[in-house]
Amino acid sequence: MTIARSNLVSGLDADCVADAPIGPLTWYGIGGRADMLVSPHTIKTAAEIVRRCRHAEVPIRILGGGANLLVDDDGVDGVVLRLDQPCFRAIEFNRTGSVTAARIGGGVDLFGLVTELARRGLQGFEHMAGIPGTVGGAVRMNAGGSGGDIASVLDAVEVILLDGTTRTFNTDALAFGYRESTLPEGIVTSAVLHLEEGDPLEIRQNVKTFFAAKKAGQPMADHSAGCAFRNPVDTSTGSLMSAGKIIDEAGLKRLAHGGASVSDRHANFIVVQPGASSRDVQSLMATIRSMVAQATGLQLEREVVIWSRHSHA
């Protein structure tokens, strides 16, 4: 069944732009438009939009900070939902003794959050320093690095499921792994983190150390979507191998397709120059996969999420 696109948001408290350029809202800054970009003003409205989309069989996608996302040049169909209104950016603290439960909106920016928690002398989140994006995207991707992932401080996740119902999942009922979890599909509207009181100076120093390590090893100032490929599992030991090292050893650093190239700072980052297209990035990814497979027999799996009219993954 289809309904007029305007019916998807009619009577609801939401901003809505038809044929909206969404590529510029990503870290890559490239890619096309969405049929409709919607910013709900309340969680209830977001849930109603999810219900209406489902009823009308209109695809819906959630845009966070766009830090792990590549939008196809032809853009995407359906609705792109953006959690940029104040109700998705709220932060509440609930202190019991030396432990604080912090309820963080899904649209809260990670850079600002790291700074705010350090300012309050709350420790446990410093390892997320330098990782761009929103809390919702970080929970969805179980973002993290050498110091651990977001799941290590996560107590609960509040989600609007694809049928429009809202649920809270305690993390002990979920399994989190490397950049993945068993959290059901839906919109992460907030996350509850458990944090300990600590020495503000020490916390600030930890943040600086994590940030400096990222800046030294990754092209933070370039346009990218972070690691292009997941680190593959070494089947003989069960441990993760570095996709960056594998790509580097295959001699692919600085390989370019159009305006996209393999970063010379970190070979698992594909960076773009002004004028690059999404197609440049996708064809470079395909070349890397096939050359790595030829050289090593390994099939690299994509970490970057690609949105296109042809795939709704």
Ligand X SMILES: Cc1cc2nc3c(=O)[nH]c(=O)nc-3n(C[C@H](O)[C@H](O)[C@H](O)COP(=O)(O)OP(=O)(O)OC[C@H]3O[C@@H](n4cnc5c(N)ncnc54)[C@H](O)[C@@H]3O)c2cc1C
Q: Which is nearer to ligand X, 59 or 200 (CB)?
A: 59
| Residue 113 touches ligand X, criterion: CB under 6 A | no
Among the listed residues 67, 76, 191, 247, the single contact to ligand X using CB under 6 A? 67
Active site residues: 179, 227, 303
Q: Which is nearer to ligand X, 24 or 251 (CB)?
A: 24
Burial (CB < 10 A; 0-12, 13-18, 19+), residue 268, is buried
- Restricting to residues 228-267, which ones interact with ligand X according to CB under 6 A? none
Q: Which is nearer to ligand X, 217 or 258 (CB)?
A: 217
Q: Provide, rounded to whole angstroms, the least separation between the CB of residue 308 and ligand X.
A: 13
Q: Provide, rounded to whole angstroms, the least separation between the CB of residue 221 and ligand X.
A: 8
Among the listed residues 61, 257, 266, 289, the single contact to ligand X using CB under 6 A? 61
Nearest alpha carbon to residue 102 among 120, 84, 86, 80: 120
CA distance 225 to 26: 8
Using the rule CB under 6 A, give the single segment among 97-105, 170-178, 222-230, 284-292 that binds ligand X: 222-230
Among the listed residues 8, 9, 14, 27, the single contact to ligand X using CB under 6 A? 27
- Which residue type sits at 197? E
| Residue 45 touches ligand X, criterion: CB under 6 A | no
The residues near 174 (Cβ < 8 Å, ≥ 6 apart) are: 157, 181, 182, 183
| Residue 68 touches ligand X, criterion: CB under 6 A | yes
Among the listed residues 220, 241, 256, 291, the single contact to ligand X using CB under 6 A? 220
Work out whether strand 76-82 and strand 33-40 pair parallel, antiparallel, or are unpaired. parallel
- Restricting to residues 125-144, which ones interact with ligand X according to CB under 6 A? 131-134, 136-138, 140-141, 143-144
Q: Which is nearer to ligand X, 124 or 144 (CB)?
A: 144
First CA to last CA distance, the chain? 21
Among the listed residues 23, 32, 64, 124, the single contact to ligand X using CB under 6 A? 64
Residue 290 CA from chain centroid, whole number? 26
Q: Is 184 helix (H, G, I), strand (E, B) or coil?
A: coil
Q: Which is nearer to ligand X, 146 or 237 (CB)?
A: 146
Q: Which is nearer to ligand X, 109 or 197 (CB)?
A: 109
Q: Provide, rounded to whole angstroms, the least separation between the CB of residue 295 and ligand X.
A: 25
Q: Provide, rounded to whole angstroms, the least separation between the CB of residue 40 and ligand X.
A: 12
Task: Return the half-sphere exposure (C-beta side, CA atoms, 13 A cut-off) of residue 202.
Answer: 7
By rule CB under 6 A, what string of x and - marks binding of each residue 73-102 to ligand X? ----------x-------------------
DSSP secondary structure string for all residues of 62-108: EESSSTTEEE-TT-EEEEEEE--SGGGS-EEEEEETTEEEEEEETT-
275's tokens: 């004028």
Q: Which is nearer to ligand X, 6 or 301 (CB)?
A: 301
The residues near 101 (Cβ < 8 Å, ≥ 6 apart) are: 93, 94, 95, 155, 192, 193, 194, 195
Where do contacts with ligand X occur on this chain (CB under 6 A)? 27, 61-69, 83, 106, 131-134, 136-138, 140-141, 143-145, 187-188, 218, 220, 224-226, 305
